A and B are shown apart, each in its own frame.
Chain A
Amino acid sequence: MVLTPILTAHWDEADSYKLEGYKRHHGYVALAKALKSDPDSLIATVKDSGLRGRGGAGFPTGMKWSFVPQNDGKPHYLVVNADESEPGACKDIPLMLANPHALIEGVAITSYAIRANHAFIYIRGEVPHVIRRVRNAVKEAYAAGLLGQNIQGSGFNLDVVVHAGAGAYICGEETALLDSLEGRRGQPRLKPPFPAVAGLYASPTVINNVETIANIPYIIRNGADWLKQWGTEKSPGFKLFAVSGHVKRPGIYEAALGTTMRELLEHAGGIRDGHKLKFWVPGGSSVPMLTEEHLDLPLTYEDMAAAGTMLGTGTPMVFDETTSVVKAVSRWLSFYKHESCGKCTPCREGTYWISGLLKRLEKGEGQETDLAKIDELCKQIMGRSFCALGDAASTPFPGAMKHFRTEFEAGVRTAADISFDPTATTVFTKANV
């Protein structure tokens, strides 16, 4: 499998984020093509391409679009989920910085396909530098007649609003995002009804991830078969893999789906000198960790599922032997505790208790019964909350126990900082603290 600079192809050009820079490389050619096509044929093309959502769940994009009822007399909405907040995930932020017009062209094509005249890009609040970038790109597109009224003489109207969140991981969950966008607390809704039927303002709504939407112009221009030249039957296409942690060259690597972690690691220069891989997490903290033995598995939705984990956001976090697994998992659980919206009791209370027990183990002050207790708590949360945050919070611990049980057992006596020197885990050198 190969590196495939597509979304990233021109990021090294100084004006990659401007309309002019984007247009130099077929920018908005796909939109012109789309506006001359029947909207249903666009949905069919995306369905045929096999594109799956890049936000974590991997739901087939074209199918999601086709769930929107047509001729129902209601306004339709497109909402882009740009609330990237999952620990480990860091691919939408650079994409919006470097190539915002791919997103905006994708928004225009998708809105036309699902018959929406209003689209929202919901960006997490903590990134004003990205929000400026996307807002400016939207302005440029309006000024060039690529958004707004009667786009390129097609009779199609589209307004795009760039909306800033205010610090809540839960708003990355699609129904919580809708509540947040409606000016409420970001808490998930019971499904069904699904957003395609009753989403924003109780109207049919498609919610897609940034990277998913940015794929659309390339698929519409090059065709469904073009996408299928990469990946597998069930996971066609390419992906922005963000490799972070103890590697020599952490960063964004765009590659074909089905690339292995061993190949990605090689591109990223391997584990830092003098160290070896301990564990890696393929797609954000919400998916179970893997180890050396899984390096040759293809990074696809189906192969990761078969290995008992998920491709998730496709943003592998890599940790070497200096890392305390107990500390790593404990931090993730503190995160879920902080971000649980509080709506469902199992998640709200469960994350509180698990994170407390893990902190105790991290300090070497655990009790013999703690491991069984945490395991039981995870089982009590899993599947018992409205949304996937509870499920996500229940995965890191069992996933880590599978490979590193003795480390958790040691937490009854020995603090993580004693077993693992925290200064060795940092990327600081003596000269550069």
Chain B
Amino acid sequence: MTFPESTWNEAKELASRYPNSRSALLPMLHLVQSVEGLVSADGIALCADVLELSTAEVAAVATFYTMYKRHNTGNHHVGVCTNTMCGLLGGDAIWNAISSDLNTGHDETSEDGNFTLEKIECQAACTHAPVVTLDWEFFDDATVDGVRKAIADLREGKEVKSTRGPVIKGLQASERQLAGFDDNEFDAPAIDAKMLAGLNRAKEVGQTLPSSEV
């Protein structure tokens, strides 16, 4: 596709944020993916043009990182963690159910173009296993039924919220955030009981520190 002028301007802005403009390449690839839903040859060409690199140099980077997709993605990205902790605690069962429901395998998109399904690696939330992500927003302590409902709601256009708070807005919206253009939804995530487990326990057993120190 031909990118709008605004994308070119934003790409140039990203380049200006770093002492060495090439450092903006990863954010810039997120940016072109936020516009197209994938990193296409045109997206690579845009990055190469702005950073004065060859397309081969940019393609070498784009193909290295798992989050950049080289084929069309659905409106939403569904990630099911099947690493050891999540997989064994329920991620495998969730994967089997959702993959079968959507008739979609790993790194494939459902026939209606709505959902791209991916087996993902550890999301740094093992205390909340099993974890599923929708457009990279977390669904902690996920269940088969819970994920099914979220997917059904998204399909019907209903509002779906991550268990940590943020509203699910589509993969391209998340990619824009990652590129470095904020949607200002920083208030949404809540600190949950598992993150507070130690603090609550410390209060219960009287092991807190003097307020002069912390």
The answer to whether A11 touches B196, judged by C-beta atoms less than 8 angstroms apart, is yes
- Identify which of A2, A315, A433 gathers the most chain B CB atoms within 10 Å of its CB: A433
Residue interface mask A66-96, B partner, CB < 8 A = 1: 0000000001000000001111111011100
How far, in angstroms, from A427 to B201 measured CA to CA in the complex?
A: 22
> What residues of A have a CB within 8 angstroms of the CB of B193 in the complex?
251
Q: Does B113 belong to the interface (CB within 8 Å)?
A: no
The answer to whether B92 touches A422, judged by C-beta atoms less than 8 angstroms apart, is yes
The answer to whether B84 touches A332, judged by C-beta atoms less than 8 angstroms apart, is yes
How far, in angstroms, from A327 to B86 measured CA to CA in the complex?
A: 12
Q: Does A232 belong to the interface (CB within 8 Å)?
A: no
Q: Does B20 belong to the interface (CB within 8 Å)?
A: yes
Q: Does B102 belong to the interface (CB within 8 Å)?
A: no
The answer to whether B126 touches A244, judged by C-beta atoms less than 8 angstroms apart, is yes
The answer to whether B191 touches A126, judged by C-beta atoms less than 8 angstroms apart, is no
Residue interface mask B7-32, A partner, CB < 8 A = 1: 00000000001111011111101100
- Identify which of A92, A319, A426, A433 gathers the most chain B CB atoms within 10 Å of its CB: A426
> What residues of A have a CB within 8 angstroms of the CB of B24 in the complex?
183
How far, in angstroms, from A250 to B64 measured CA to CA in the complex?
A: 34
Chain A residues 154-211 with CB under 8 Å of chain B are: 161-169, 180-186, 201
CB distance from B12 to the nearest CB of A (A): 15
The answer to whether A135 touches B84, judged by C-beta atoms less than 8 angstroms apart, is no
The answer to whether B199 touches A11, judged by C-beta atoms less than 8 angstroms apart, is yes
The answer to whether A338 touches B121, judged by C-beta atoms less than 8 angstroms apart, is yes
The answer to whether A328 touches B88, judged by C-beta atoms less than 8 angstroms apart, is yes
Q: Does A369 belong to the interface (CB within 8 Å)?
A: no
Number of residues from A at the complex interface, CB < 8 A: 96
The answer to whether B178 touches A164, judged by C-beta atoms less than 8 angstroms apart, is yes
Q: Does B40 belong to the interface (CB within 8 Å)?
A: no
Select from chain B the residue with minimum beta-carbon distance to A425.
B88
How far, in angstroms, from A186 to B22 measured CA to CA in the complex?
A: 14
Residue interface mask A1-39, B partner, CB < 8 A = 1: 011111011111000110000000110000000000000
The answer to whether A427 touches B199, judged by C-beta atoms less than 8 angstroms apart, is no
The answer to whether A331 touches B82, judged by C-beta atoms less than 8 angstroms apart, is yes
The answer to whether A124 touches B124, judged by C-beta atoms less than 8 angstroms apart, is yes
> What residues of B have a CB within 8 angstroms of the CB of A387 in the complex?
none
CB distance from B67 to the nearest CB of A (A): 4
Number of residues from B at the complex interface, CB < 8 A: 85
CB distance from A97 to the nearest CB of B (A): 6
CB distance from B94 to the nearest CB of A (A): 9
Q: Given A167-B65, A167-B66: A425 and B89 within 8 A (CB)? A: yes
The answer to whether A226 touches B213, judged by C-beta atoms less than 8 angstroms apart, is yes
Q: Given A5-B208, A218-B214, A255-B198: A87 and B84 within 8 A (CB)? A: yes
- Identify which of A26, A250, A323 gathers the most chain B CB atoms within 10 Å of its CB: A250
Within 8 Å by CB of A250, from B162, B174, B194, B207, lies B194
Select from chain B the residue with minimum beta-carbon distance to A201.
B20
The answer to whether A428 touches B51, judged by C-beta atoms less than 8 angstroms apart, is no
How far, in angstroms, from A253 to B194 measured CA to CA in the complex?
A: 9
Q: Does A133 belong to the interface (CB within 8 Å)?
A: yes
How far, in angstroms, from A186 to B166 measured CA to CA in the complex?
A: 29
Within 8 Å by CB of A87, from B17, B20, B126, B189, lies B126
How far, in angstroms, from A393 to B51 measured CA to CA in the complex?
A: 36
The answer to whether B143 touches A432, judged by C-beta atoms less than 8 angstroms apart, is yes
> What residues of B have a CB within 8 angstroms of the CB of A251 in the complex?
127, 193-198
Q: Does B130 belong to the interface (CB within 8 Å)?
A: yes
> What residues of B have a CB within 8 angstroms of the CB of A243 in the complex?
127
Within 8 Å by CB of B25, from A3, A89, A183, A222, lies A183
How far, in angstroms, from A4 to B214 measured CA to CA in the complex?
A: 10
How far, in angstroms, from A421 to B133 measured CA to CA in the complex?
A: 26
Q: Does B74 belong to the interface (CB within 8 Å)?
A: no
Within 8 Å by CB of A90, from B20, B125, B130, lies B125
CB distance from B99 to the nearest CB of A (A): 16
CB distance from B62 to the nearest CB of A (A): 9
How far, in angstroms, from A90 to B178 measured CA to CA in the complex?
A: 20
How far, in angstroms, from A184 to B85 measured CA to CA in the complex?
A: 31
CB distance from A285 to the nearest CB of B (A): 7
The answer to whether B199 touches A133, judged by C-beta atoms less than 8 angstroms apart, is no
Select from chain A the residue with minimum beta-carbon distance to B197.
A251
The answer to whether B177 touches A131, judged by C-beta atoms less than 8 angstroms apart, is yes
> What residues of B have a CB within 8 angstroms of the CB of A399 in the complex?
none
Within 8 Å by CB of A433, from B120, B125, B143, B203, lies B143
Q: Does A234 belong to the interface (CB within 8 Å)?
A: no
Within 8 Å by CB of A75, from B19, B67, B166, B191, lies B19
> What residues of B have a CB within 8 angstroms of the CB of A43 in the complex?
none
Extra A-B contacts (10), CB below 8 Å, given A17-B186, A26-B214, A125-B178: A87-B85, A87-B126, A94-B195, A126-B67, A127-B138, A163-B26, A169-B121, A183-B20, A201-B20, A245-B85
Q: Can you list the 7 inter-chain pairs with the closest CB atoms, starting with the nearest?
A: A251-B197, A183-B25, A167-B66, A253-B198, A166-B65, A167-B67, A244-B126
26 contacts between A and B (CB under 8 A): A3-B198, A6-B209, A6-B214, A11-B196, A84-B124, A87-B84, A93-B125, A125-B26, A126-B123, A129-B137, A129-B166, A129-B188, A131-B178, A132-B186, A164-B27, A169-B122, A183-B23, A184-B22, A185-B64, A226-B213, A331-B87, A331-B88, A422-B92, A426-B130, A428-B90, A428-B144
